[in-house]
Amino acid sequence: MKTVETYRIIEKNKPDSLALMDAQMKKALLADMENFKKISIEYPHLKDEKAVYNLARRVWNKNAPPVFAKEDLILDGPCGKLPLRLYRNDEKNDKPCIIYFHGGGFIVGGLDSHDGIVSRLCLYSGANVVAVDYKLAPEFKYPVPLQEAAFVTDYIRANASRFRINPELLSYAGDSAGAFISLGAFLDRRDSGQDVSFIRTLLLYYGTVGLADSLSRRLYGGYWDGLTFSNLDRYEQAFADEEKTAAPMIDRDYTQRMPATYILGCELDPLADDSKVLHEILKAKGHTVEFSMKKGYAHAFLHYSSMLPGAEEALRESAEFFKKYLV
């Protein structure tokens, strides 16, 4: 872990991302910062980071598009109770299914915080979407979320009629930390010799693949998006287990089978190079991969669809990719 003085120097050397930002992106981020300020005033004694985050995201989820049905259920998972939320567009059976893992640096987030993103993905993809409320760090560390991902995958396939899905048409999707879990869930299953033929696509939104350092980490991230160098280090330290450290996804084997993969990055994101490197590796190994880099955008921009047309555009784009590679 770097020293406080090292963090200070790194942050001092960064350009002003807000000055480089797309005008609508900047407007959305400033509104989000103002929202956090209001929460601190309205709830002065609320110190729980997870609760504050959920309250802040509530504003952005007010304009979530309606879907035909949402249903919450709780499984007895490998590490305790495991809440899920099923999103459906219609009453049809035998639908393709997307299993969604939310972002939040492995330490915050849940079903409610990402309701707007998941509702839109359900609507645009035409699939049934199952959002997973996996266990959070630091109480639960690696590999717990990946164990829960494996459990949910097996449970959904074994209960396909309950979820009204085709068990041979599954995909993983996730933003930020959820993209890491999505990619890891596939790789763990494949590398353990289990069947992965039914996993048709990966939809990875501005995720981390475990780069310890990069140009984008040196240049971007700040108080406006909660991704200073020290913040990133804190998230990773919280997720890592002293006895079983989370291996960087970038060091995994990409010579073997990979499903069609959509990667979404954003230019002013400290994780932008994570997305670029993964794209280049998959492309070099001959896998089907599509990469979209949103210019002038910052991390977590998919939350701001109500103010940011580019967020809607990105979700529609990924949904079209998903539909294209179902077969």
Positions marked catalytic: 176, 269, 299
User: Residue 225: CB partners within 8 Å, gap ≥ 6?
Assistant: 29, 269, 298, 299, 300
> Other C-beta atoms within 10 Å of 185: how many?
26
Cα 275 from Cα 45, distance rounded (Å): 38
Q: Is 202 helix (H, G, I), strand (E, B) or coil?
A: strand
Strands 95-101 and 128-132: parallel
Cis status of the peptide bond prior to 66, with omega within 30 of 0: no
From the list 32, 24, 21, the residue with the least C-alpha distance to 295 is: 21
**Could you tell me where the DSSP H helices lie in the chain?**
4-13, 17-20, 23-42, 49-61, 115-125, 144-158, 160-163, 177-191, 215-219, 229-239, 272-284, 309-324
CA distances from 90 to 112, 118, 326 (A): 21, 16, 19
- What percentage of the chain's residues is helix, strand, coil (to nearest 5)? 45, 20, 35
Q: Is 166 helix (H, G, I), strand (E, B) or coil?
A: strand
Look up residue 240 and give its amino acid: A
Cα 150 from Cα 199, distance rounded (Å): 12
